[in-house]
Amino acid sequence: MLIDFFYTMRAAKLPVSVKEFLTLLEALQAGVVGPKSDDAWSLDDFYHLGRTVLVKDEKHYDKYDRAFAAYFKGVEMVADLTREIPQDWLKKLLERELSPEEKAAIEAMGWDELMETLKKRLEEQKERHEGGNKWIGTGGTSPFGHGGYNPAGVRIGGPGRNKSAVKVWEQRAYRDYDDTQELGTRNIKVALRRLRKFAREGGELELDLPDTIRSTAANAGYLDIKMIPERHNNVKVLLLMDVGGTMDEHVQRVEELFSAVKSEFKHLEFYYFHNCVYDFMWKNNRRRFAEKFPTWDIIRKYNKDYKLIFVGDATMSPYEILQPGGSVEYMNEEPGAEWLQRLTHAFPRFAWINPEPPGVWQYRQSISIIQQLTGNRMYPLTLKGLEDAMRLLSK
């Protein structure tokens, strides 16, 4: 059984060795995890043991999670199959499919009205609710809950579905982009090289082969080695990447871009944000609230000669850009638009790379707002889009 589990991990491109797999088997034989008091084995224990033994870098946690889920196909318990299974395991809670006419009939509330109504619902509601258009629950057309439809709502628990929530009331675990992702094509690197500028600096570290050949020939065949300073790419890049939420759909392409950027530019600094930049960013998604980097400090730390590149789909509620408190994770004192303007003023050479196809840009209000705030310096994550962006940044 676990042989197939090992091959599933390898198929997911996890760097798992045979030695680590044998260590996992030894841990199971030693009883590190085992039957609970009710004689049922919990997959949670096996999940954590496997992750501890097989995964050596937290950037691979997401790959492990997806491979683990694919192998066990959603099974929660491996033993005691005679016990009663809760109904929540047998069906998805009432995800209604509304017609375009029904969706058009639902009117989005304003920000103040939305938050005030949510406060009243929390005070009035005393039990779980499914469907409907008022209470906090699953399905339905209420602006509160999850699994239903409302053009501007507050998602409370559960997975998002229609990308229209204004605030998300749950702790969401984002993952760092994997900078070791193998590129599906080398065209991204080729496009990025338009920005590279080489300069000779430092000591004599590089062999000048043409001059060595000429000098040796002129010296009657006696070897005369000539050295020149090594060439360095002196372009400095500040990369700010949107992560989580709707960006999960673009993980592979952004990882390819991230890998290419890290290999092409020696002077690279990167940070993460979610949806829109606010007063802090982070470098590690699992410690994003414990290890914050104030945006003001980032602005002061790096000089104007850094090229600023945003990577994000700019898909969010307009509140997140224009309103104080618009962040889906905390109450930001200043709107994201203010921070965007501060960053683009501090780093005049900037561009925004959007993985969403240009055909949908005109239909999303938030993308139009970001385009205006960045002076229409938004480019698609395509070969031509990258070439155009690099050409702009190299001026």
Which of 41, 56, 77 lies at the terminal end of a domain, its last residue? 77
Which of 24, 52, 77 lies at the terminal end of a domain, its last residue? 77
Checking if the pLDDT of 165 tops 70, the result is no
Task: Tell me the CATH number at 295.
Answer: 3.40.50
H-type alpha helices, 125-284: 187-192, 209-218, 251-264
pLDDT of residue 147: 53
312 and 352 inside one domain: yes
| Both structure tokens of 208 | 């000048």
217 domain-assigned: yes
Under 8 Å between Cβ of 257 and 355: no
Phi/psi of residue 335, nearest 5 degrees: -65, 155
Residues 237-249: tens digit of each pLDDT: 999 999 988 998 8
206 and 292 inside one domain: no
Alpha carbon 11 to chain centroid, angstroms: 22
* Structural domains in the chain (count): 3
CA distance linking residue 338 with residue 254, whole number of Å: 26
Count of C-beta atoms within a 10 Å radius of residue 65: 16
109 domain-assigned: no
**Average of per-residue pLDDT values in the chain:** 74
pLDDT of residue 313: 95
Of 254, 275, 272, nearest in space to 355 by CA: 254
244 domain-assigned: yes
pLDDT of residue 59: 74
CA distance linking residue 23 with residue 68, whole number of Å: 18
Q: Helix or strand or coil: residue 345? A: helix
298 and 366 inside one domain: yes
Residue predicted with more confidence, 334 or 99 = 334
Residue that has been written with the tokens 């065949």 in this structure: 221
219 and 342 inside one domain: no
Alpha carbons within 13 angstroms on the beta-carbon side of residue 125 total: 16
Residues 255-307: tens digit of each pLDDT: 888 888 887 788 889 999 999 999 999 998 887 778 899 999 999 999 998 99
Report residue 115's pLDDT band, with 50, 70 and 90 as the boundaries: low
224 and 290 inside one domain: no
**AA identity, residue 250:** H
Phi/psi of residue 385, nearest 5 degrees: -60, -45
Q: What is the DSSP letter of 276?
A: B
| Both structure tokens of 180 | 């070791």
167 domain-assigned: no
Checking if the pLDDT of 121 tops 80, the result is no
Residue predicted with more confidence, 126 or 206 = 206
CA distance linking residue 63 with residue 53, whole number of Å: 15
225 and 331 inside one domain: no
Of 240, 245, 251, 239, nearest in space to 336 by CA: 240
224 domain-assigned: yes
249 and 385 inside one domain: yes
Under 8 Å between Cβ of 274 and 328: yes
**Domain range spanning residue 280?**
234-392
221 and 241 inside one domain: no
193 domain-assigned: no
Report residue 2's pLDDT band, with 50, 70 and 90 as the boundaries: confident
330 and 299 inside one domain: yes
221 and 246 inside one domain: no
Which of 56, 77, 98 lies at the terminal end of a domain, its last residue? 77
211 domain-assigned: yes
Q: Helix or strand or coil: residue 278? A: coil
226 and 306 inside one domain: no
The CA distances from residue 227 to 211, 234, 271, in Å, are 9, 20, 38
176 domain-assigned: no
CA distance linking residue 146 with residue 156, whole number of Å: 6
CA distance linking residue 240 with residue 270, whole number of Å: 6
300 and 209 inside one domain: no
Count of C-beta atoms within a 10 Å radius of residue 158: 15
Q: Helix or strand or coil: residue 384? A: helix
**Integer Rg of the chain from CA:** 26
Residue predicted with more confidence, 44 or 123 = 44
Residues 66-105: tens digit of each pLDDT: 888 877 764 433 333 334 434 444 334 334 444 555 445 4
Alpha carbon 130 to chain centroid, angstroms: 31
